[in-house]
Amino acid sequence: MQQSAAETLKSIDPLPGAEKKHKLKVVFVGAHVDDWIFCVGTLARYAREGHDVLCLSFTPGDSQGMASARHMLLNQLAELRQKDARRGTSLFGARFRILDQNNQKMHVDPEAYIAFNKTLAAERPDVVFSLWPLQFHPDHRAAGNLAYNSWLQSDMKFDFYFCET
């Protein structure tokens, strides 16, 4: 019997957590509304296999540099980018949610750690992906740091992975 391409992929490149044989809660932790793109192949595979995928963005798409370059008001740009992010994530069956920080002003401090620990714990994730913390964008470093801290604080209860950006 011939295996389908999806079955072959499943057997040679299994998704982390899939061995648990139950529906997983998979959370991507990004800084920006479009950061899930860095991990979209993996996230789409989880969604296709019936798992619950949530993409978080710490910030609402409020990049002043992008707004200026496009001669747009900041809130117009943010609205448009949020719409794109909701549409993009829904195309592969994921949900999308914005948290409470701002572009280029992300902060990592005791209050931010505590707030994000609560946010992530409430999702009861099985698998979490975030941004590699040693890279160029300070917001990406902040998101990776906050996610990594939540994993440690949870007693490493869920699987945690960084993705390349």
Q: Looking at beta carbons, which residue is closest to Zn ion?
A: 32
126 and 84 Cβ atoms separated by less than 8 Å: no
Is residue 126 close enough to count as binding Zn ion by CB under 5 A? Answer: no
Minimum gap (Å) between residue 140 Cβ and Zn ion: 5
- Considering only 15, 32, 119, 150, the residue that binds Zn ion (CB under 5 A) is 32
Helices (H), 1-104: 5-12, 40-48, 64-69, 74-91
Q: What is the DSSP-derived secondary structure letter of residue 20?
A: G
Is residue 62 close enough to count as binding Zn ion by CB under 5 A? Answer: no
Minimum gap (Å) between residue 163 Cβ and Zn ion: 12
- Cβ count within 10 A of residue 1: 2
Minimum gap (Å) between residue 35 Cβ and Zn ion: 4
Q: Which stretch binds Zn ion (CB under 5 A): 17-25, 26-34, 120-128, 141-149?
A: 26-34
Q: What is the DSSP-derived secondary structure letter of residue 136?
A: S
- Size of residue set near Zn ion by CB under 5 A: 2
- Considering only 35, 61, 116, 126, the residue that binds Zn ion (CB under 5 A) is 35
Is residue 141 close enough to count as binding Zn ion by CB under 5 A? Answer: no
Using the CB atoms, write b or e for 86-105: b if 16+ within 10 Å.
Answer: bebbeebebebebbebebee
Which residues contact Zn ion (rule: CB under 5 A)? 32, 35
